[in-house]
Amino acid sequence: MKKTDCLKEIVQKKKERLLLAKEILPLEELKSRLTAAQPARNFIEAISKPREIRLIAEIKKASPSQGVIREDFNPLEIARIYEEKQVQAVSVLTEEDFFLGSPAYIAEVKSVFSGPVLRKDFILEDYQVYESRYLGADAILLIADLLSVDKINELVELASTLGMGALVEVHEEKELKKILKIKPVKLIGINNRNLHTLEVDFKNTEKIFPLIPKDRIVVVESGIKSYQDVLFLKILGVSACLIGGALMESQDIGRKVEELMGW
């Protein structure tokens, strides 16, 4: 797989899977099943506390940049550790082909983790927002690079109607400018990873963070590997950090949580 085409290839595969999902469970039937869903847990409240930096701890088996990160991958066991360490929120990778995730992991995680769960995937249309709520997600990730202003607005509004948070992720200034036009966007993610080349540059946060209005809640993703990194983000004024790779690579996940966050 060419690195430069990574995002394109993921999206192409996602569109194929989406067609199949709609055949198995049509939209109207999916919507009707939502009546039995438990109310969503408050993602925004969990990750924003003044003068503190919160942790969104990730559960993922693999990534396009690293391949398989964790061989002995047990989502339930990892979620138990996060619950024990009182992690504020959990991010679950559900993309099947490049991250080896599964939509089923959300319910598994929520059976042992009491905080909110973010569904991290490549969400392109309304169907996936309804699907996320049906699966038990309390919040969704939207990637600004993949969506028009109108589509982001529509998906954020829909998520809100369903009681979910929507974390809108940007990688560069032009994407930030795009989403700042959208009034309902309260949660902004700064991704230090370029999704096209997969390269990580921690300085990305330094460039983008000062451009974000103070009334938005900011989450920083990718490249966070040490307590010094987390401390830097806290001093900057970031509300939460989303950490995946550093935790998944660790033999002792619980200890790594404590080490990274200074708990």
Q: Could you list the active site residues?
A: 58, 60, 120, 169, 191, 221-222
Q: Which long-range contacts (CB under 8 A, 24 or more apart) does 150-158 make?
A: 151/125, 152/178, 152/179, 152/182, 152/185, 153/182, 153/184, 154/126, 155/123, 155/125, 155/126, 155/129, 156/182, 156/184, 156/185, 157/184, 158/126, 158/129, 158/130
d(CA 132, CA 121) in angstroms, rounded, equals: 10
Q: Cβ(224)–Cβ(218) under 8 Å?
A: no
d(CA 73, CA 75) in angstroms, rounded, equals: 6
